[in-house]
Chain A
Amino acid sequence: MSDELIAKVKQMIIDSLRIEGMSSDEIETDAPLFGEGLGLDSIDALQLVVAMEKEFGVVVPDAATGSKVFASVRSMADYISENKK
């Protein structure tokens, strides 16, 4: 897993979710994104699905897959690496 991809994923989260007052360095790579972590919800998840497809050409087909993919920044980067065309 490249540090470059991790950084890109963090920036994508900040940009697509319009998170204000937070830099990409402040998002922990292995921290949960939903619930206790960034506190994201299903509306945010769909926004991330669209952003991932637009930026990396990777499709998250449903919420069940999404719950695994969006577990953390690292899991997102793993999914992108495995599925990028």
Chain B
Amino acid sequence: MNCWMFPGQPLRHDQSFPAMPDGEGILSLCEAVAGFNPSAWRGDGQIESENIRLQIYGTAFSLCRSRFLKMSGQQPDLVLEHSMGIYAALAACGCISERDALEMTARVGRTLLKMSEKVRYALGCIIGLECAHVEAAAANNGVYVANYNTSSHFLLAGERSKIMSAVEECAASGAFSLSVFDCDAPLHTPLIAEVADELKNIFSDYIYIEPSVTLLDHIDHQPLTASKIPGFLLDELLLPVWWQRSYLAARNLGAKSFVEVGAGDALKKFNRWVDSENMP
């Protein structure tokens, strides 16, 4: 069984846009829908933040990869998604159009950006520390664990000053590697409730078709149906991502090969870590 994995927003723009047959079609859609060309990293002034650019870049990259794989005769038997990778995943499963995926990404990004008007937010990437220590550091400093990627890879989200304190505590507890990234909003935390009504309105603007292949959500690791999608799109921004559980759920369903359909290879690396702990 072949599983396609759609990664979330890249943390950096460090990969050139893939040159693929018909990739120009996606880039034209980006310009038309979002006013931004991720290939040239150029917008017409409509893109207000680097995070929104990264979000559009991530979705567009995944859509291009998905098109390319399908054009070369490949199809998934199962689809996993991580964070904002859900928008491209929905398009790949035929639930929404590519245009809607890009538009939704840009609209969500702009709504999240409003949160940064009052508070400066950041993400803290913690590698090589046990979950209990990371959760304690989050609780002690008033931030949240937003991504449980593996037993040793976590993302914290919250106010920037609090993230810095939490990261310092993780360092003192023996974390192997730490880094902090500025962000517009604390994704995958209850703090997103501040813009929940607006997000809900965005998701209610689209029509969702039943997935053409099984698409597992990253909260309950159950197949998404068309009727569940709008609720999930909101919930997933308020709740943490549990990547390890998603991967193991796919394995239990019989997935043997995994293809990362997007920028970078973080998900493949998470899987490699999970395998090293769970397989003989």
A and B from one complex: yes
A interface with B by C-beta (< 8 Å)? 16-18, 41-47, 49-50, 62-63, 66
Q: Are B276 and A50 in contact (CB under 8 A)?
A: yes
Question: Given known contacts A46-B153, A50-B276, A63-B178, what 20 new A-B pairs fall within 8 Å (CB)?
Answer: A16-B276, A17-B272, A41-B269, A42-B125, A42-B127, A42-B176, A42-B177, A42-B179, A43-B269, A43-B270, A43-B273, A44-B269, A45-B176, A46-B177, A47-B269, A47-B272, A49-B128, A49-B176, A63-B128, A63-B176
Cβ of B210 to closest chain A Cβ, rounded Å: 35
Decide if B152 is an interface residue (CB 8 Å cutoff): yes
Cβ of B123 to closest chain A Cβ, rounded Å: 14
Cβ of A39 to closest chain B Cβ, rounded Å: 10
Q: Given the known inter-chain contacts A17-B272, A18-B272, A49-B128, please indicate yes or no for A43 contacting B266, CB distance below 8 A.
A: yes
Interface string of B171-201 (1 = CB under 8 A from A): 0001011110000000000000000000000
Residues of A within 8 A of B174 (CB): 62
Q: Are B272 and A63 in contact (CB under 8 A)?
A: no
Give the interface centre of A18, A43, A50, A62 by most chain B CB atoms within 10 Å.
A43
Cβ of B129 to closest chain A Cβ, rounded Å: 10
Interface size (B, Cβ < 8 Å)?
16
Q: Are A43 and B153 in contact (CB under 8 A)?
A: yes
Cβ of B93 to closest chain A Cβ, rounded Å: 27
Cβ of B248 to closest chain A Cβ, rounded Å: 18
Query: DSSP majority for the B interface?
Result: mixed
Can you pick out 13 interface pairs between chain A and chain B where the beta carbons lie within 8 Å of each other?
Answer: A42-B127, A42-B177, A42-B179, A43-B153, A43-B266, A43-B270, A45-B176, A46-B128, A46-B176, A46-B273, A47-B269, A49-B128, A50-B276
Cβ of B249 to closest chain A Cβ, rounded Å: 21
Q: Given the known inter-chain contacts A43-B127, A46-B152, A49-B128, please indicate yes or no for A63 contacting B177, CB distance below 8 A.
A: yes
> Measured between alpha carbons, how far is A78 from B73 in the docked complex, in Å?
47
